[in-house]
Chain A
Amino acid sequence: MQAITRERPDRRYCMPDPLASMTDETIIAQIPPSSRVLDLGCGDGRLLKRLRDTHGASVQGIELDRRQIVGALQNGVPVVCADLDRGLAGFPDRSFDFAVLSKTLQQVRHPRVILHEMLRVAKQSLVVVPNFGHWRVRLGLLLWGSAPKTEALPYEWYDTPNLHFMSINDFRALVEVVGGHIVRELAMIGGNAVEGAWAPNLRAENALYVLERKPV
């Protein structure tokens, strides 16, 4: 736990996650070859590098942390330093096939704005959200009356990059608010990505969403 606390400053948009490679795998499976992909909070560009090298994707990362940016450059991934809280104003509408936001939504100040921006700049958006409605989190709160702290959410409440705590149900409601449409929902349960899972709001640690703008 100690080590994680110390590492945190350079992981603002990149939560340490034992299931990271599985999440990447699930994201990559949604993206056809040769797509143009934007990764918001791309960290050291690990996902984009794979998409470029194995999928022939044209990639672009956005990251705020300088050390992560150097990492992305070391991976040969193009990365623009920007604060997601300021939106993507300069990027034209539908200039990407996919925009990816992996476990970052809970860390931005204005989740509604960034989701709206993603739906604007990309034809499809891939969003991975941690599910704070998971039964372990609920049980912890019920039994000990303390803020959630699990393997997937290892932070003390007073020292965490997570600004918002949402559940799968909450996220679905937000998608509605920004005029989005859920094309696919994959619940990540015990290391598997399950489409149409039973009671995902109780059982999923994370969920991956494929979103589109609702046709006007």
Chain B
Amino acid sequence: MSTEVATPESIEWVDATRVDATSVGIVSTQFATLFEPPHEMTLVTGAKLGPVRVAYETYGELSRERDNAIFVCHALTGDAHVAGRHAPTSRKPGWWDELVGPGKGLDTNRYFVICANVLGGCQGTTGPNCIDPKTGKPFGSQFPFLTVGDFVQVHSALVRHLGIEKLLAVIGGSLGGMQVLDWAAQFPGQIRAAVCLASAARLTAQGIAFNCVGRRAIRTDPNFHSGDYYDQPVGPDHGLGLARMVAHITYLSEASIEKKFGRRLQHGDHFAYELLHETEFQIESYLHHQGSRFVERFDANSYLYLTRAMDYFDLEKSYGTLERALGRTEARFLITSYTTDWLFPTIQSRELVDALVAARRHVSFVELTSPFGHDSFLLEVEPLQELLQPFLEQTYMEARRHCGEGI
């Protein structure tokens, strides 16, 4: 593998011009090239891939002992931009800005936080929308099949590339949580703690069903061209938008939709009695908006690859039993689920807890009360922070104690 270990001098520190005291300030995405031929990565399917460009961001400073690094795994459609802003004029901060920053749950005054776009993720990391160096054309349908294990293999290589031998913690929700679990099983010695939010050892059949509808919408879009649409004037935007609309419903809860929209109408108080009027209710208008905003930033092929990786993820199938998969690591676990999350219901988190208890691992678990459905892990930051801060602090203290003993 061509992952040359970076010396501290070669790591480019993010120039965080602090605007407000709780923000990491202005940040920029960085890139690393890993797995350069002839050291290509071997995917779970056996296929080779390389070089792999990885888009990542870091916040805070790596300690001299290099023992304070926390890796954030993003969910299905996330990116490396977790916190801060890319420019003072940026409309929105990073996707988990509420959790990552000075004094926050992932306190950048104490910890060095890393987040990378997943393999195939189309937000800067190598994916189907990138140029295949062998052909000089976008990969499109020729991009190899991906699994969660492959995402983690790239993350793990990036961590080593940054000169970090062992992470203090790896944290993620949903598909990010699956990466956390896979990390614990695939690279058990590389992490001291694993924080898995609103996730599971496998997606439910219901989850696969929703993914199936989304993929069908993309594939049947006349502009899909079997995935080779990059030289076309228009891509499968309609299908991708539709996929997002369906998926977005699964991220909410009946109660949160009711509270936010109810049966309120978009225009006035009266029905239009017009069949072609597509956004009569506010919830319709909201979903349409979500769909069209999504196609501006996401690639349809990526959506197919990543949702399939999510469907395939099954720790039990890969390792025989959950106990065996998760018992490989000495890492401490913190697991949370959310009362109204029906995409990753609490019972799936309990399954993880039971397996970890059976494997005699160090595990803490809380089901948090929240009305926001699956999205709760992103929105309910305060109760998460309350658990996360002491959990990380204790993990860090324990790590330092061990280092002091020379273990």
Contact = CB atoms under 8 A, between A and B. Distances in A.
Interface of A: 36, 58, 60, 66, 69-70, 72-76, 78-81, 90-92, 95
B350 A73 contact: no
B358 A92 contact: yes
Nearest to B353: A80
B366 A69 contact: yes
B230 to A, nearest CB: 48
Contacts of A90: 350-351, 353-354, 357
Contacts of A79: 364
A161 B353 CA distance: 28
B391 interface: yes
22 contacts: A36-B360, A58-B360, A60-B363, A66-B366, A69-B364, A70-B386, A70-B390, A73-B364, A73-B387, A73-B390, A78-B362, A78-B364, A79-B364, A80-B353, A81-B365, A81-B366, A90-B351, A90-B353, A90-B354, A91-B354, A95-B357, A95-B358
Interface residues of B, number: 23
Contacts of A76: 394, 397-398
Contacts of A73: 364, 387, 390-391, 394
A117 B150 CA distance: 41
Contacts of A80: 353, 357, 363-365
A78 B350 CA distance: 15
Nearest to B397: A76
B314 interface: no
A13 to B, nearest CB: 15
B387 A69 contact: yes
A189 B358 CA distance: 38
A59 B394 CA distance: 15
Looking at A36, A58, A73, A74, the one whose CB has the most chain B CB atoms below 10 A away is A73
Contacts of B353: 80, 90
Interface in B308-326: none
B215 to A, nearest CB: 34
Contacts of B358: 91-92, 95
Contacts of B394: 73-76
A91 B350 CA distance: 10
A90 B398 CA distance: 29
